[in-house]
Structures are given as C-alpha cells and as structure tokens.
A and B are shown apart, each in its own frame.
Chain A
Amino acid sequence: MSTIGLRIDTKLGPVERPGPTRRGFVTAAAVLLAGCAAPAVTDKPSAKPTSVSKADFDKAMSTPTTIEYWSWLEEVPQMVALFEKKYPDITLNLSNVGAGTLQFTKVRTALQAGNAPDVMHCDYQNIATFARDLLDLTAYGASDYAADYSPSAWGQMKSGDRVLGVPIDLAPMAAMYRSDLLAKAGVGVPVTYDDFATAAKAVKDKTGAYLATLPSNAATYMLAILQAAGVKPFTYDGATKVGIKLNGADAKDVMRYWNTLVQAGLISGDPNFTDAWYRGFATNTYASWFPAPWGPYRLQGTAANTTGLWTLAKVPQFKKGVDTSSLWGGSATSVLKTSKHPIVAAEWARFLSQDPDSVKLLMTVQQQMPALKAANASPAFIDAPNPFFKDQQQTNKLFVEIAGTVDPNYAWLPFMGVVGTTYNDTLGKALAEKTDLVTALDAWQKAVVDYATQQGFTVS
C-alpha cells in the first residue's frame, strides 16, 4: 500500500468550523456577494493575472505534493497514472465516493467540515451549485485554452466571468431507434414530433414496444428534452437571484404533447438505470432512447443481443426545418477554492481533458465525446466504429453535428439536487402513474420555487 495513508487536511478556512459561527456565515455571505461581481478571486488579490508564471508553475509541479481528487469515472485511474508519470513529484489521491449525487452530497458535507478534496469531478449541472466553492481558473491559464473547447462545453463552465471547471466531455442529445422494430411497424425514423407520435402508436400496436421512455427519476433527461424544444427554465445571477420558469407556455406545450402520448399508453415511465430498465432494452420493451455519446456504451453488455439493430438520428423537432438539440450530462474537472495547491490542481484539470493519451482513454474506455475541439473533430473520434450501430458509418460525426446545434447559453440553478428530488415527487410520479403531466409540471414549479424562497433567494 502506498505511503499516502490518510491525509487529513488541517487547514482552517472561514466556513469549515462545525456549527454556525458568526465568523463563518459572515464570511460565507461576503464570499457569495463577491462571487458575482468581481472577477477572479485568487491568492493574489491585488493583481488580475490570467496565468501562472512559468517559474511558479515549475516550482509547484516539482515540489512533492499530494492532492485529493474525487471522481467516479471508470478510466480515471489510468489518467491519474499518466499524470503522475509526467509529474513524478505529484501524487494524486483518487477516491471514488459514489457516482453523481452521492459524491456531491459528500463534497457538501466535507466542505462544511473542512476536509473537502482539492479537485473534483463535476457535471455541468452542478457547477452552479458549487459556484461559491469552486476556484476561478482564469488566473491559472484558463483563458489560454478557452478557444480549444467546443463553445457549448465552455459556455457551461462560466459563472459570470469566472471559469469554474475544465470540460471533459460533451454530451449532445441524439436519438437512437431500433431499426428492426421500426421496420416491423412500417414507419421510418421520425424527424418531427408529429412523426414521432405516429410512429409511437404504430410501434406499440405492431410490436408491443415503447417508442418513448420518460423516466420517472431523471429530471435532467426531462430538462434536456425541454431544452431541445427551446425551453430554458432557469436563470441565476451567481449570487442571490434566480429565475424559475418550468411551467411557461412553451414548456406547457411540450408537456401537453407528451401527455397525449402518456395517456394513450405509449410512454414508459420506468425509472432509468435500474436493473429492470437495462433489461428493457434486452427484451425489446424499449424501442428508442435519447442518449448522449456516453449512452450506448451502457447498453453494450446488458443489451448485447441488440447489437447492430440500432440507428442513430437527431432528436425529433417540434417545428419542421428547425434543428436544435441539447446537452444531457457532460462533466468537467473543478478545483475547490479550499485547495492548498491550486496550481497543481488546475494543471490536473487541464491535463485530464487535453493530454493526448488522456483524451484517447476518454474516447476508448467509455466512448465519450471529448469536449476538446481538436479531439472531437479528429478522425480518431469521427471514424471510430460503434458496434451498436453496426451498419451506420460515422455515428460520432452525427454527434459532432448535433453538438453544433446546441445553444451554449443554458443556466442551471444552484440547487440541482433539490430540482431532481422534487421532479421525482411531482412530474416523475405523474409519469409513473400516468396522471396529468401539465398539472404535475405546475407542481414541480411550485416545489422548486418554494425551496428557493425558503433558502433566501429572490425568485423571479
């Protein structure tokens, strides 16, 4: 076993003391208010630097340092090995504390107790949630490589002027259909949602499969579908003002559409990423999915018997001639403000998504789409064959095309965990129990607004 052992951070920052203290919340409030207006809050308060000097950088990377990194990605241990090989004096202590919400919950508690990691894996939607706790990477060279990333990815890193993470992958939402089941139903790949409704009925009648799944536990999936239809429900000024409009007229139109399909019994509301859900693909219960590039890989083992039967396409559109999509997921590497080694941490964040070997791992191990423009435009990505869509060439090129149709300006609320649980209790529940979706949408709106008000935000 390595000698790292159990490194416990001994720093005592302003918000780490357990329990409420005046110093604690006054400082927290100050940080909050400062966060929106002023640009980079760095260790050098007087200057407004945009990168670290070479001397400082070299010194930092050659001083024996250990940094704590939390991530659940499968290929990360290999990337860590690459990084440690390049910088032998640096030790990267990787901890997998759970996927998604599990990790973010732990980060939140760790911040409260004062032993948060230096760097963490952060998905796009949670950047706003941790906006007060993440380091602005502008001072660490972020502006140097901003243009290297796809705009829709980079846009998600920003909170005001601050850059709060380095994007790892890009996750544009596409649609995949079982070509054999579509053929059996006598329909082609839907282009508009009208086509989709017709196809859904035909597929259900002739094959018994659900053409659409709206999982009862996937708020982000629903939000991505809404975004693809042009709905942008959230605004956040980085400090105390939030805008929440989940049940605007545009969203309601979308919900009315889906409600018709739900009430006709054409939609499965099963929760996703459960054992039963995976089997649904293997047993022809689901005839489509709206995945992002990281999606098909999930099915390759459990639904191996459907390999080669899928077609990748763009998501259906509500209006003919319009071509928009959205992002479903996507993650970044973010540095915590409490880190004592920001230079090393920022370099790791950069390395993970820019080092050629690291990017290669990203593309091959879990078949993700790199957010780095050079990578996702490269032949290695574009020409990579995907056995799931065996007869389709260059499915990754389609993902790149779709990524180009995503609006880079999409805001999230700083409490997405609650948005998720309230979704499960309202709209998700309606999907599972086939009650009216539009009413449930209103209920979701109310629940989120209630929470925001309770937490002291000014809600509009």
Chain B
Amino acid sequence: MRKPFNDEKQRSSILSIALWACAAYFALPLVWLFISSTKDTGDLFATFGLWFGSTFHLFQNIGDVLSYQDGIFVRWTVNTAFYAGVSAVGAALVATAAGYAFAKYQFPGSRAVISVILGAIMIPSTALAIPTYLLFSSAQLTNTPLAIILPSLVSPFGVFLMMVYASSAVPKELIESGRIDGAGEFQIFWRVALRLLGPGIVTVFLFALVHTWNNYLLPLIMFSDGRLYPITVGLALWQSQGASGGYSEDLFSVVITGSFISVLPLIIAFLYLQRYWQTGLATGGLKG
C-alpha cells in the first residue's frame, strides 16, 4: 500500500471535527447500549438513556444474562460461533476455489456460469425462505445445524470478490512456471495461489462470518428447538416474550445486556483481522 503523499503534520481540524461528529452519530446507539447494560431494571426505566444510573450493575447484568433460563444464552453464543465459523470457513474455501477458477482458467461455459452466479445476488431472501424450509423438512434436516450451515456456504459475492482478487494477486507467470515444473493444477492452487490469495480469503471469510452471525430470518424459520437458536433469534424471542405480556420483569435488562454482549465478538474479530481484509479489498481490483 502506498503511503500518504501529503505532509503528515498537515492535519485539518475542521475536517477532523466534522468526521468525529459523524463518528459520534454512528457510535450513539452503541453507547446507549453499553450504558443501559450497566443499569438495573429500575434505573433502566427511570433514568436518562445516555448517562449512567445510580449503580454500576454491569457485571450483575452479565451474570443474569448468562444464567437466565439455565444459561441458554451461553448455548446460543456457542451455536452462533459454530454456525458462523463453520459457514464462513466453508464459504471462503468454496468461493476461493471457484473464484480462482473463473479468474485463471478459460473454460467453456465460464461466462454463462458467472453471469448466473452474479445474477443470484439479486434474489430476494423471502423468495427462498419457505421453499428452502419445505425442502429441508422433507429431507429431515430442519432443526439441525446443517439447516443454517448449508445455505450459508453459498456466497456469490464471495466468488465475485475472489475472482477479481485472484486475477491480479496471482500472476499468470507463476502458474505457468508451476506447470513447467510439472506440478498439477491442484498442487499449484494449494501451494502457490492460496498463499497469495490470503487477504482475499480473509475478506470473504469475514463477510460470510458477519452474514451468518447476523442472520435472522433463516434460523427463525428453520429451528423450533430453542437449544439450537443463534443469538439473533434468541434475543428476538426474549424480546417478544417481554413484549407480549410480561414474563419476569428483568427481561428487558437481560435483552439489552445480551444484545451488548452479542455485538462484541464481531467487533473484536474485525479489529483483529483489520489489516488482512483491508488489503483484500484494496488489491481486489477495485481500481479502474
């Protein structure tokens, strides 16, 4: 990546203030979420939303969330991590292989297949939800993790991203020299290309991770066993119970703190893997 070309010292205060003001807007709901997680139910309903209450109740709240209904939240978190992790790894691998092939090989039908795949990005989710459910239940796969994982392995955008990325990240010459050395196509892919495709793979991985982690409609219709829910459906379930006529009054506090806990893992994942996915997107031929 190129370094900034202007003088490092020449920072603009006006621009910075403008951007920081905007950043405050983006952070506002999350700040509210954090602050509300530190309140107990009484304070939640009685005090001003954007400032702390009379007590710092965060750790008790976290304890409540983790123990509510026999600790089902922990189970939901594990489920979410499992579905998202497996789907993201699978999606990334599958998309990488396909993207690499579209980028580096000219084979009959490649144009047609790519068009169909890209067109698939436009399919509305509800068009697929019920038929997928009906098909899965005839195959006895609803209420199993596969009901979430299998559909999540398909990432047309991931294929597109990898295709674009591979076309510039893996030079043709490298492949050719590999062939001259007598290596098989798969060996070249495995030994040479994958290394170079690293940032792109991480990018696809991350976006697939977010997509599955935050998926709501699919697990909502696929699962009826609460022990299989991911966090999204679990939180919505608690929210609906709190709304539809009470339950324990602590439910609101539990939903809010649970929501807070649920956003942390992805934020951390993005922070940690920042330099990879930025490279992935940058070199991904998104220039002219």
A interface list, Cβ under 8 A from B:
1, 6, 8, 10, 17-19, 70, 72, 74, 95-100, 102, 106, 109-110, 112-115, 117, 273-275, 278-279, 282, 294, 297-302, 304, 329, 366
Contacts and interface: CB of A to CB of B under 8 A. Distances in A.
Interface string B213-253: 00000000100111110000000010011011111111010
Categorize the interface residue count of chain B. 20 to 34
Contact of A8 (B45, B143, B244, B250): B143
Given A97-B224, A302-B45, A113 B134 contact: yes
B66 to A, nearest CB: 17
B16 interface: no
B225 A95 contact: yes
B274 interface: no
B224 A18 contact: no
Nearest to A1: B227
B135 to A, nearest CB: 7
Contact of A106 (B224, B228, B247): B224
Interface string B28-46: 0000000000000110011
B226 A97 contact: yes
Contacts of B225: 6, 95
B231 to A, nearest CB: 15
A297 B224 contact: no
Contact of A99 (B133, B137, B244): B244
26 contacts: A6-B228, A10-B140, A95-B225, A96-B237, A96-B241, A100-B245, A102-B237, A102-B240, A109-B133, A112-B134, A113-B137, A114-B137, A114-B138, A115-B142, A115-B224, A117-B224, A273-B246, A275-B243, A278-B45, A299-B246, A301-B41, A301-B248, A301-B249, A301-B250, A302-B45, A366-B246
Interface in B240-277: 240-241, 243-250, 252
A302 B46 CA distance: 10
A115 B243 contact: no
A331 B240 CA distance: 18
B133 A274 contact: no
Given A18-B135, A109-B130, A279-B45, 12 more contacts: A8-B140, A74-B247, A98-B237, A112-B134, A114-B137, A115-B137, A117-B224, A274-B243, A278-B45, A282-B45, A302-B249, A304-B249
A13 to B, nearest CB: 13
Contacts of A18: 134-135, 137-138
A241 B136 CA distance: 35
A117 B224 CA distance: 10
B144 interface: yes
B41 A302 contact: yes
B78 to A, nearest CB: 12
Contacts of B224: 70, 95, 97, 106, 110, 115, 117
A102 B224 CA distance: 11
Nearest to B247: A74
Contacts of A113: 133-134, 137-138, 142
A165 B130 CA distance: 29
Contacts of A6: 143-144, 225, 228
Nearest to A73: B247
Interface in B119-136: 130, 133-135
A164 B142 CA distance: 28
A297 B240 CA distance: 17
B83 to A, nearest CB: 15
Contacts of A110: 224
Interface string B54-80: 000000000000000000000000000
A366 B46 CA distance: 24
B96 to A, nearest CB: 32
B216 to A, nearest CB: 13
Contacts of A70: 224
Given A8-B143, A97-B224, A113-B142, A297 B246 contact: yes
A245 B38 CA distance: 51
A12 B35 CA distance: 52
Given A98-B237, A112-B134, A113-B137, A275 B252 contact: yes
Contacts of B252: 275, 302
Contacts of A98: 237, 240-241
Contacts of B138: 17-18, 113-114
B226 A96 contact: yes
Contacts of A109: 130, 133, 221
A99 B142 contact: no
B35 to A, nearest CB: 16
Interface string B192-225: 0000000000000000000000000000010011
A74 B248 contact: yes
A16 B225 CA distance: 19
A10 B137 CA distance: 10
A273 B244 contact: yes
A96 B137 CA distance: 19
A19 B228 CA distance: 26
Contacts of A278: 45
A246 to B, nearest CB: 24
B113 to A, nearest CB: 28
A186 to B, nearest CB: 29
B42 A298 contact: no
Contacts of B143: 6, 8, 115
A1 B70 CA distance: 12
A231 to B, nearest CB: 24
A77 to B, nearest CB: 9
Contact of A72 (B46, B140, B241, B249): B241
